[in-house]
Structure 1
Amino acid sequence: MSSVALLSNPRSTGNRALLPRVREICAAHPDIFHYEVEDVDQIGEAIRTIAMVSPRIIVVNGGDGTVQAALTELYSGDYFGGSPPPVAVLPNGKTNLIALDLGAEGDPLKALERVIELVESGRIEDHVIQRQLIALNSGGDERPVLGMFLGGAYLADVMLYCRNRIYPLGLPNGLSHVLAAILGLFAMLLGIGGGRLPPKPQPMVVSLIRQGELHGKFSLLIVTTLEKLLLSIRTNDSPGPRGQMKLLAVERGAGALFRMLGATFRGTLGQNHLEGVHFQQGDEIRIEGERSNVILDGEIFVANSGRPIVLTSTQPVPFLRLAA
């Protein structure tokens, strides 16, 4: 039995320079079981092997795709008899939304050392929190893909634009995100798109069971079980009576977008009605569109008319919060 099982993806961008230091930490702590994969397709076998050593904590060290694949295997593969140990996520991806929600930010090595400190001090239980996952079903017989943050509509288009056009420039992640956001806002305000700019928003239909449908073109579509949506937009800690997934949809246009941002800065988002801004909670959400992209924790899916993407929430699962 190992106290900590560490799953690393050496091919993730952050690990190319970081992994030698990670290996040094593991060598200094024999109680860490370190499993390295070369591809996300190997994560199922990795989780199966990790289950054999019965760790108290599983730490994921990789990009957004590694985290998403690990969560899917952990909670769909039943390697731990339905009771997997808490998961900690190192801030080693492009966006780090899950890691930030769990109190891990900055240096991934310090986050790993924090996990070791909590294990050695016997204070794990004091830092275990419950989060639900989003189960995404895109049709067919494939098992659902699990994650915690979905971006869609024009937001997904800008995220893909950043990934395909801005990241290759080699700029720091933060600067890349700001540049993509500025160019996306510029294109939206002028009603242009394509070419060297993000594409124009496409029509979508978002359905919440028992709560009606939203139709139109949206500049922002977020579904999450995290406490923070994006850009430090904080959600209600309490799930409330309508389900565990939080939905934020902002209609296309500068007015709705700036009303949403204003409510965010005032801390009143979701408390009052705002024209063009929809903030709801639901236990099942359907997304349809004309080849509209959505991104769940780094993985791309396409919503089509007549073949919706269906989102449901899982039962609460344990994670390790690293913040004090």
Structure 2
Amino acid sequence: MNTPAVKVGLISNPLSQRNKKRRGKLNDIVSSHADILYEPLEEIAALAEILKKFSAREVGLIVLDGGDGTVQAALTELLNGNAYDTPPLLCVLPSGMTNLIAGDVSGKGTPEMGFSRVIERARNESFDQWIVERHVIRVQYAPDLSPIYGMFFGMGAVTRAIEQCRRVIHPLRIEGPGAVGLTLAGLLIRRSIRGNRDDTVFRGDNITLQFNDGKAIPIHNLLVLISTLKRLALGTRPFWGEGNGGLQVTSIAYPPTRFWRSLFPLLYGKERRNLDSEIYLSQRTDHLAITMNSPFTLDGEMFQPSPDIPVRLEAAGPVRFIRW
């Protein structure tokens, strides 16, 4: 058996949605590679000690077998410097419900296929050709708490749509892009029936946005999207702002004018989009502060900020991922 060019460690979350259906399948691969360190993640609180153990054993490639929440928790531990001085190379297997991060930085196929491929690539000292880099969002939402890190931030209609998806679509055992597509279709159908009337998802929130310590902009807002990923669910590209910042930011005021005419260019338009700039705002930045009185999501996990304390977001990293 060849010795890997980099030591591999696997963290598998057995509670992630897809892992519940295929318990033990990765174990067969691990059992045939005695040089791979394997740790089941029975609870997120155990992640810190697992990463410290991997660091002590000089693991240079961590394979995360879980959903977006597992990746978010790992990024938070790693970028807060609790285990590694510099984050190691990461690989993400799509074992969760939505797998937004894996859809951008991983590959196509089953988690078993991905794990097998990455083991082979870890044995090749010239595997740099499969490495991609992404910035990470640093979120400070409470002064007495450590920052959290992730790759997709949303608020307003975004969090309400996620909650509706979990309440209505996920019980039907529909997951991934199918769940996202059905949720979006249902919301759009309801929007076409109700028009501009407020409902449980389509309504406004009063917020302020402050880019790069500039002037605070008050907005009656439908949603805010922030991401460092190049590809979102269903292949959407809801970012078109110019600049060199590591964070892609899009905000939509409420009520959105010319909603139906703007929908396709909003989601799938090119660099220049013929959208009302008073309603549809998109730009890149390295720093952003949002004052709000509503929850936000970071990679599918929900957080409640204080209405009096701005949520501060910064571009961190970049972090390296290996494709498979």
For residues 236 and 138 of structure 1, the distance between their equivalents in structure 2, rounded to whole angstroms, comes to 24
Preserved CA contact (<8 Å) 1:132 1:313: yes
For residues 170 and 247 of structure 1, the distance between their equivalents in structure 2, rounded to whole angstroms, comes to 32
Which residue of structure 1 aligns with residue 318 of structure 2? 316
Q: Is 1:159–2:159 an aligned residue pair?
A: no
Alignment of 1:220-235 (within 5 A): 220-234=223-237
Note the C-alpha offset of 1:117.
Answer: 1.9
- Alpha-carbon distance change, 237 to 34 in structure 1, aligned in 2, over 3 angstroms: farther
For residues 189 and 167 of structure 2, the distance between their equivalents in structure 1, rounded to whole angstroms, comes to 18
Normalising to structure 1: TM-score of the pair?
0.87
Unaligned runs of 5+ in 1: none
- Alignment partner for residue 153 of structure 2, among 146, 150, 160? 150
Question: Please, which moves more after superposition, 204-213 or 305-314?
Answer: 204-213
Question: Please, which moves more after superposition, 232-241 or 208-217?
Answer: 232-241
CA RMSD of aligned residues (A): 2.7
Q: Structure 2 counterpart of 1:209, which letter?
A: N
Q: Structure 1 counterpart of 2:321, which letter?
A: F
Note the C-alpha offset of 1:213.
Answer: 4.2
Which residue of structure 2 aligns with residue 139 of structure 1? 142
For residues 137 and 283 of structure 1, the distance between their equivalents in structure 2, rounded to whole angstroms, comes to 14
Q: Is 1:61–2:45 an aligned residue pair?
A: no
Identity %: 27
Which residue of structure 1 aligns with residue 283 of structure 2? 280
Note the C-alpha offset of 1:111.
Answer: 1.2
Q: Determine helix, strand or coil for the equivalent of 1:70.
A: helix
Deviation digits for residues 51-77 of structure 1 (CA, Å, limit 9, x no counterpart):
122123111001221111111111213
Normalising to structure 2: TM-score of the pair?
0.87
Q: Structure 2 counterpart of 1:148, which letter?
A: M
- Alpha-carbon distance change, 269 to 93 in structure 1, aligned in 2, over 3 angstroms: farther
Number of matched residues? 316
Q: Determine helix, strand or coil for the equivalent of 1:19.
A: coil
- Alpha-carbon distance change, 104 to 33 in structure 1, aligned in 2, over 3 angstroms: same
Note the C-alpha offset of 1:211.
Answer: 5.0
Alignment of 1:43-62 (within 5 A): 43-62=47-66
Note the C-alpha offset of 1:48.
Answer: 0.9
For residues 164 and 103 of structure 1, the distance between their equivalents in structure 2, rounded to whole angstroms, comes to 28
For residues 153 and 92 of structure 1, the distance between their equivalents in structure 2, rounded to whole angstroms, comes to 27
Unaligned runs of 5+ in 2: none
Q: Determine helix, strand or coil for the equivalent of 1:314.
A: strand
Preserved CA contact (<8 Å) 1:134 1:147: yes
Q: Structure 1 counterpart of 2:230, which letter?
A: E
Preserved CA contact (<8 Å) 1:5 1:33: yes
Q: Structure 2 counterpart of 1:116, which letter?
A: I
Note the C-alpha offset of 1:214.
Answer: 4.3
For residues 46 and 226 of structure 1, the distance between their equivalents in structure 2, rounded to whole angstroms, comes to 26
